[in-house]
Amino acid sequence: MESKLSKLPVKCPSCQSGLSVQSLACQACDTVVNGRYDLPVLLMLEKEELEFVLRFVLNSGSLKEMSAEMGLSYPTIRNYLDDIITKLNTLENHES
């Protein structure tokens, strides 16, 4: 799958703990907002997994269409989706 998204760092390179957003900057006027914002669970997925979710939404959730588009079998596509669901559930449970 050709990647369109760059990888957002979600783990601390030093201690491997989860990262959070501390500041947001306006590209137009350089205003900086500081605070502590948790990353959405979806953004904690790997780059390829996020690409898959994006394709899934763009294909209106049709695994059959995704299968044809990606040149992979229906069970393979369904397995990818199942694995992402399992990962999202784990991340959500870890968050709460």
Partner 1 sequence: MKAEEKRKSLAGWLFNPFLFWGGEKLLLAGLLAMLLHIPMAMVFNIRFGGALDMHVGPQAPALPVILTDILIAWAIMFMVLYAAIRLFGKTARLIDIAGAVGVARIPLLLTSIPAYFTAPEIEAPEEVLALQGSELGWLIAGALLTLPFFIWFIVLLFNTYKVNSNLTGWKLGVGFVGALILAEIASLMLNSYFTGLMS
The footprint of partner 1 (CB under 8 A) covers 1, 48, 67, 70-76, 78-80, 82-83
Angle (nearest 5°) at CA 30 between 25 and 34: 40
Smallest separation (angstroms) from partner 1 to the CB of 30: 40
Nearer to partner 1, 13 or 71 (CB): 71
Nearer to partner 1, 48 or 91 (CB): 48
Query: Residue 74 in contact with residue 63, Cβ under 8 Å?
Result: yes
Smallest separation (angstroms) from partner 1 to the CB of 92: 20
CA 45, chain centre distance (Å): 4
Smallest separation (angstroms) from partner 1 to the CB of 44: 19
Nearer to partner 1, 20 or 90 (CB): 90
Contacts of 66 (CB under 8 A, 6+ apart): 55, 56, 59, 77
- Reading the block at residue 68, the tokens are 């044809």
